[in-house]
């Protein structure tokens, strides 16, 4: 079997990964994508002499933003996907991992 050369993620998965990366444990969050726009004149004919104006969209940043209001299909609850680690209380024996 060949080696994978591409991995694709759903938008919610990217949000979950970024919540974990930023160590966020509370709140509703969703993905945020910042686009830049530009324009150019590009050749469209086979001779290269026929030009057309074109719009160019560029993904400049991908991040997460706090979501206000009712949850949507893009909303991720940080408490569900990245819960705070359970704390060891005083007097609780620590379990050693087997080697």
The yes-or-no verdict on residue 85 having pLDDT over 90 is no
51-66, strands of its sheet edge to edge: 51-66, 28-43, 76-77
pTM over 0.85: no
Structural domain total, the chain: 1
Residue 40 lies in a domain: yes
Let me know: does 79 contact 29? Beta carbons within 8 Å: no
Q: Is residue 18 part of a domain?
A: yes
Dist CA 13 CA 20 (whole Å):
11
Give pLDDT, residue 86: 83
**Within a domain: 90:** no
User: Residue 40 belongs to what domain range?
Assistant: 11-81
Looking at the domain assignment, is residue 92 inside a domain?
Answer: no
Asked if residue 94 is part of any domain, the answer here is no
User: What pLDDT digit, counting tens, does each position of 8-65 carry?
Assistant: 999 999 999 999 999 999 999 999 999 999 999 999 988 888 999 999 999 999 999 9
């Amino acid at each position: 079997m060949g080696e994978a050369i591409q991995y694709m993620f759903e938008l919610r998965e990217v949000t979950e990964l970024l919540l974990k990366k930023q160590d966020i444990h509370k709140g509703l969050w969703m993905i945020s994508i910042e686009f830049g726009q530009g324009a150019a004149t590009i050749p469209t004919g086979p001779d290269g002499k026929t030009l057309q104006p074109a719009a160019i969209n560029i993904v400049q940043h991908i991040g997460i933003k706090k979501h206000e209001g009712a949850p949507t299909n893009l909303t991720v609850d940080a408490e569900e996907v990245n819960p705070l680690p359970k704390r060891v209380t005083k007097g609780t024996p620590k379990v050693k991992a087997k080697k």
